[in-house]
Structure 1
């Protein structure tokens, strides 16, 4: 790709705007990252009347409007993330999704959180393929093919596809601790459930001929953060996977997010984003298998023994969860504003350490202990993103690690791409 690859933020007045805080969609290279859509009518700026069915329909209508505003369709969606305040509402959301989708189904992540902005019962976000790419002086042909696949060795779901690849990335549906043979939760506790989630991911990857160390980002949703040590013990038996990865000590970027509910009554689910060195057709054969994963850490931001701060592949960097601790491991003094500022300072340090800037950030996920502190967070956020360019998600979760008020993670553009193997 040409070095003029550029971050492209866009908005349409036909869908709700979050002016000054986020963009509806931010494209870079062959992907668009959309801000989470609330069930707000653009004409009124207020929540739609009705219950979960009406709210879910408005969220998807807003996504459709944003996507069509950039000359794409809902069939270009790679992943949908459905965030609820009551996991029991998932069946109603699934029914509404059936109104918008036919034969093709994106990958899906479903979870419940403590609260959503404006008191909504649901918000939905999307990652969308961008066949034309974002090179201003050399538009790319829009003929890249999306590849959606399911394998028999992992649990299937009538409302999603296990794996959807586009260009050099592959998104997997969040995996629950479901035994693919019985279709039910595995017996046992958190260790057995975590093992099953990761085994399901591995089965999908083996079914599509992808090595486990192609994972660049893992997100773990947990009902109880007290389960983290048990999860880590299992996690360390899966990562690093290969001899090469063990020699390099490679670990994906990672975020652990507390939730209030998961499908099927699970205690844990795991979402994975994979590198896809082959690319999707019709990328040239000589371009295949020529990209490497670049994992980077800097001493200017806190490190974590179970993850890498930033993992780049092709034209994206995936950043691990950011907590409000400085590089010495000290929690910043102050409240939500100061903690949000420290998370963003850590993001800036990581991004700059790999030769980028905050202008390259395309998506930020924000997890807060109390949405009542959102104004404080916004004040800090505006200091780092005064133009509100990144797409964004904001949710209130039941707990955050070490009792902090704010946590964030991010996706960053990587214009130079990653080099071929030597």
Structure 2
């Protein structure tokens, strides 16, 4: 961990005490990464009484308490991810959502998952801008400005902004396979739907004059995991997108999971995290390629032809989700969920070490479990890798994972040295 930029983990008594080894919020550089908030009353430590509306309100209250505790406001939220147990509850959640974001709306992703911790009906994750940065004794000079953008060439929603840029990243709302002209799902199956999702992402990026190959991380949410090969066929027609990217066979880091349902009964939904080389004012305008993407793979972790293990840009590394695969054999490790969790984390550790970082540099961990009841067993292993409980964390139960795995883990890692400009 560098003394130049520091990982700053914080907790407040005004939000629920963590139910695992994690921190409520971990700031690094110009972002605060929050742990997903459950509808827990911080005073009682129990789920609030009532239905999904009451639970959604408590989730947002908890997020607001954390945001307030670090001297920020809800309009500093860049991205919201809503994990809901029943997709039919989204309308009720939206009623509550509007009361917390009455004017500015962040980017947003909504998925229905098979299970949530404590049998909650909803869990909400947030990413928050951090204008002052985390350089010790050297706060950011001048407030950085969030840049919001919507284009009519992609589907628009009153409840989310298509893209919100802050500092050196653009965070996009997850894109459904909606034709922006009709506002309806495109005709056809999963291939047509995947193509439309990626076309919508491309339209958003073109509207802010950013090339498709500036994407750092892709998350693919599938209704049926059996569709993954069809999705990949379409995926490879979009990536790599440029001659430069093709020359090095660049693919973004990627996470793919099966969820129980998606909005509008879609078969697929895709979200993207995008590099933003010129930054947001008052950062000095740089040539878009003045900062470079640093993509890296190591033989010490499993490789995937359609994903890079880690892609660094500016002060963050985004890792592809790691399965419990032995990198030497390419096979699933023997044993149960403990052994699988250990292998996922060993793979993450190998990737991090391959780019000269350490596990203490991790700021956010996302855990996808086939069986939510495995949380306690996973935590036994998790604590051996993160004994201080510093990273923020999200855990959801999903319908299916690649290779029939019981667990899959991805991570966001601080990158103190940043990425260099082209000489």
TM-score normalised by length of structure 2? 0.98
Aligned residues of 1:4 and 1:137 also touching (Cα < 8 A): no
Provide the C-alpha distance between the structure 2 equivalents of 1:112 and 1:25, rounded to a whole number of angstroms. 24
SS in 1 for 2:290: coil
Aligned residues of 1:19 and 1:388 also touching (Cα < 8 A): no
Over residues 6-29 of structure 1, what are the superposed CA-to-partner deviations in whole Å (9 max), with x where a residue is unaligned?
100000011002165110000000
Partner of 2:388: 387
Partner of 2:362: 361
Aligned residues of 2:142 and 2:282 also touching (Cα < 8 A): no
Provide the C-alpha distance between the structure 1 equivalents of 2:373 and 2:173, rounded to a whole number of angstroms. 31
Over residues 287-338 of structure 1, what are the superposed CA-to-partner deviations in whole Å (9 max), with x where a residue is unaligned?
7642000000000000001000000000000000100011121211111111
Provide the C-alpha distance between the structure 2 equivalents of 1:284 and 1:157, rounded to a whole number of angstroms. 32
SS in 1 for 2:320: strand
- The equivalences for 1:148-227 within 5 A come to 148-227=148-227
1:3, CA displacement in angstroms?
5.6
Over residues 191-232 of structure 1, what are the superposed CA-to-partner deviations in whole Å (9 max), with x where a residue is unaligned?
000000000000000011010001000000001110000000
> 1:413 and 1:224, CA in 2 relative to 1: closer, same or farther beyond 3 A?
same
Provide the C-alpha distance between the structure 2 equivalents of 1:419 and 1:299, rounded to a whole number of angstroms. 24
Q: How many pairs were matched up?
A: 421
- The equivalences for 1:67-216 within 5 A come to 67-216=67-216
Partner of 1:324: 324
Provide the C-alpha distance between the structure 2 equivalents of 1:257 and 1:81, rounded to a whole number of angstroms. 15
Partner of 1:343: 344
Aligned residues of 2:165 and 2:276 also touching (Cα < 8 A): yes
Partner of 1:29: 29
Provide the C-alpha distance between the structure 1 equivalents of 2:416 and 2:191, rounded to a whole number of angstroms. 39
Over residues 37-69 of structure 1, what are the superposed CA-to-partner deviations in whole Å (9 max), with x where a residue is unaligned?
000000000000000100000000000000010
Aligned residues of 1:309 and 1:320 also touching (Cα < 8 A): yes
Provide the C-alpha distance between the structure 2 equivalents of 1:258 and 1:13, rounded to a whole number of angstroms. 35
Provide the C-alpha distance between the structure 1 equivalents of 2:141 and 2:398, rounded to a whole number of angstroms. 41
Ranges in structure 2 where 5+ consecutive residues have no aligned partner: none
Over residues 156-215 of structure 1, what are the superposed CA-to-partner deviations in whole Å (9 max), with x where a residue is unaligned?
011000000000000000000000000000000000000000000000000110100010
Ranges in structure 1 where 5+ consecutive residues have no aligned partner: none
SS in 2 for 1:140: coil
1:54 and 2:46 correspond: no
Provide the C-alpha distance between the structure 2 equivalents of 1:331 and 1:188, rounded to a whole number of angstroms. 34
Partner of 1:375: 376
Aligned residues of 1:20 and 1:387 also touching (Cα < 8 A): no
Partner of 1:409: 410
Partner of 2:269: 269
SS in 1 for 2:321: strand
1:148, CA displacement in angstroms?
0.6
SS in 2 for 1:285: coil
Aligned residues of 2:325 and 2:343 also touching (Cα < 8 A): yes
Provide the C-alpha distance between the structure 2 equivalents of 1:192 and 1:289, rounded to a whole number of angstroms. 32
RMSD, matched Cα: 1.1
Provide the C-alpha distance between the structure 2 equivalents of 1:94 and 1:148, rounded to a whole number of angstroms. 20
Partner of 2:39: 39
Aligned residues of 1:79 and 1:107 also touching (Cα < 8 A): yes
Aligned residues of 2:52 and 2:122 also touching (Cα < 8 A): yes
Farther-moved stretch of structure 1 (286-295 vs 183-192) = 286-295
4+ residue runs over 2 A deviation: 285-289
Provide the C-alpha distance between the structure 2 equivalents of 1:356 and 1:137, rounded to a whole number of angstroms. 23
1:285, CA displacement in angstroms?
2.7
Partner of 2:335: 334
Partner of 1:399: 400
SS in 2 for 1:61: helix
Provide the C-alpha distance between the structure 2 equivalents of 1:357 and 1:180, rounded to a whole number of angstroms. 43
Farther-moved stretch of structure 1 (370-379 vs 17-26) = 17-26
Provide the C-alpha distance between the structure 2 equivalents of 1:337 and 1:141, rounded to a whole number of angstroms. 46
Aligned residues of 1:131 and 1:141 also touching (Cα < 8 A): no
